[in-house]
Amino acid sequence: MTDDTFDSGFPLATSSWDAAEYAAIQRVVDSGRFTMGPLVAQFERDFATAFGAGFGVMVNSGSSANLLAIAAAVLDDRVDLQAGDEVLVPAVSWATTYYPLQQYGLIPSFVDIDVDTLNLDLSLAEAAITPRTKAIFAVNLLGNPNDFAALTALAERHGLLLLEDNCESLGAKDDGRFAGTVGAMGTFSAFFSHHISTMEGGMILTDDEATAQMLISLRAHGWTRGLPEQNAVHDKSGDEWDDLFRFVLPGYNVRPLEMSGAIGIEQIQKVPSLIAGRRENAVYWTERFADLDSVRIQREQGESSWFGFSLVLEGALAGRRKEVVRAFAAEGIESRPIVAGNFTKNPVMKYLDAKVPAELPAADKIHEDGLFVGNHHFPVHAGIDRVYDAVAKLS
């Protein structure tokens, strides 16, 4: 695709596939093996290698990756995390950052964000720590990594387990480390609109082999199949037939398809160029919007992989989001809320046993005046101009 692709509009997402992905699909079709197999295993190895992690475990979505990461942490006897414990979470994130905590009896402790980076406000996070706080589930939002030096120092200072929801920030870096590799586990999504796509898919990275083995068991029914004879979860009996149906953890069935693994093998090779394209667009975006005082754009931390481009309406545009959305739609510009805004304002909160501060002003600002538009892996200067012109006309 080229810079003139979006002369008539600006979509939220576009495909990063070419002939290689379609050929990979056909090879799977020709093989007749569609359930999780050797191609998924190869993609797991390639993915872990690409980001410098010890182990990768693929699942069917980023949401499932979050679920298994929380499950593995709670079920691991080495980890001090159990029902009733508090986990610090940012007030702006996707729904399935929070749901696994509720499902395992953990208490999401909501913390406001930094309105510039859109990530967890670490000073407020530290102030929210109580004797019941045992973990931080940090989120790298819209491609922007957290301040990893400060985040890890906070976790170490208070003896907290650190986990990363990195579903929106594949390829981002800070402090010399890839996002998703800083905590005990990091989760990724390979949904269509994300940096890479395997149709549906997710990944968990960890450097701990015992954790990886737990994730492998949890991914497929909680059984021992797929584990080595001697492993950290439950050693096999040595009777191959007897070991086929031995269940040792309260697991799930969130296995990916072999087709998704095959596509992933092709996609992971393209990551450097995909991220480079998005970062080049971001340079143009930040320069283009530098003179507009009616919007606040995301401040980059480290090296963002720029999932999308956020706008927080201020000054003359504050309180006018619906008007902006309508203007965008008239120009063929697709937009969305910044994730779920202040998640605590969602009706589903009545089902969550959570700690919510009396005030979340930054998250509220995002909830009322925040939106984002897409970014892509090829030049989209014309699309960015279209967004700028639509905003400028209303300012």
Q: Strands 133-139 and 161-165, how do they pair?
A: parallel
Angstrom distance (rounded) from CA 376 to CA 194: 10
HSE toward the beta carbon, residue 102, CA cutoff 13 A: 14
Report d(CA 97, CA 66) in Å as an integer: 7
Distances (CA, A) of 361 to 296, 316, 345: 15, 19, 12
Cβ-proximal residues to 329 (8 Å cutoff; 6+ apart), any chain:
335
The Cα–Cα gap between 315 and 395 comes to: 8
Q: Given the residues 194, 195, 221, 367, select the one marked as catalytic.
A: 194
Beta-sheet strands, E only, within the chain: 55-59, 86-90, 107-111, 133-139, 161-165, 173-174, 177-178, 185-189, 202-206, 295-297, 308-313, 335-336, 370-374
Assign 150 to helix, strand or coil: helix
Cβ atoms of 170 and 278 closer than 8 Å? no
Neighbouring-strand partners of residue 257: 35
194 is catalytic: yes
| Contacts with 168 (C-beta within 8 Å, 6 or more apart), sequence order | 139, 140, 141, 142, 143, 189, 194, 307, 339
Q: d(Cα 57, Cα 44) in Å, to the nearest integer? A: 6
The catalytic site residues sit at 194
